Amino acid sequence: MSKRELSNREVLVVEDEMMIAMLIEDMLDELGCKLVGQATSVPRALELIGNESIEVAILDLNLDGKDTYAIADALQRKNVPFIFATGYGSTGLRQEYGNRPVLQKPFQQKDLEMALTEALGGSSGVRG
């Protein structure tokens, strides 16, 4: 999937660190994606999932000490692909989400582009 294919994709960002959220938003803008919304809490993310059209989401695994699995579950029920962004790596994920793309913080734009491509392409999580 090229930058052009990522263009205008509707993305939800779930991140409680404002500087990281702003960096992700800038990267998404560079890739031509459209930000649907930015959530810093589980309730806000669930509200956006219920009310907005979302093509892919980027989830921080930990929001102020709370995990985001309720958000992941809601996205999964709606068949919306998502990426976990975490400083813990894939080892911190629940087993049922072990095949999801993971962005190891800190990450660069090319890493985000690869993860978005992987999530939207429906690949099994194997990068190559």
Please list, residue by residue across 96-112, b when 16 or more beta carbons sit within 10 angstroms of its beta carbon and e when fewer do.
ebeebbbbebebeeebb
Model confidence band, residue 3 (pLDDT cutoffs 50, 70, 90): low
User: 29-46 pLDDT, tens per residue?
Assistant: 999 999 999 999 999 999
The pLDDT of residue 122 is above 80: no
- CB contact set of 125 (below 8 Å; sequence gap of 6+): 98, 99, 100, 101, 118
d(CA 2, CA 120): 11
DSSP class of 96: G
The pLDDT of residue 11 is above 70: yes
Task: State the CB neighbour count (10 A cutoff) for residue 53.
Answer: 9
pLDDT of residue 92: 74
pLDDT of residue 93: 86
Query: Residue written as tokens 């029920």?
Result: 77
Query: Strand 82-86 relative to strand 66-67: parallel, antiparallel, unpaired?
Result: unpaired
The pLDDT of residue 117 is above 70: yes
- The pTM (predicted TM-score) of the whole model is 0.90
pLDDT of residue 78: 96
User: 58-116 pLDDT, tens per residue?
Assistant: 999 999 889 999 999 999 999 999 999 998 777 778 889 888 999 999 999 999 999 99
pLDDT of residue 46: 97
**Domain ranges in the chain?**
3-121
pLDDT of residue 2: 57
Task: State the CB neighbour count (10 A cutoff) for residue 48.
Answer: 20
CATH (one of 3.40.50.2300, 3.10.180.10, 3.30.450.20, 3.40.50.300) for 3-121: 3.40.50.2300
Helix (H) or strand (E) holding 123: none
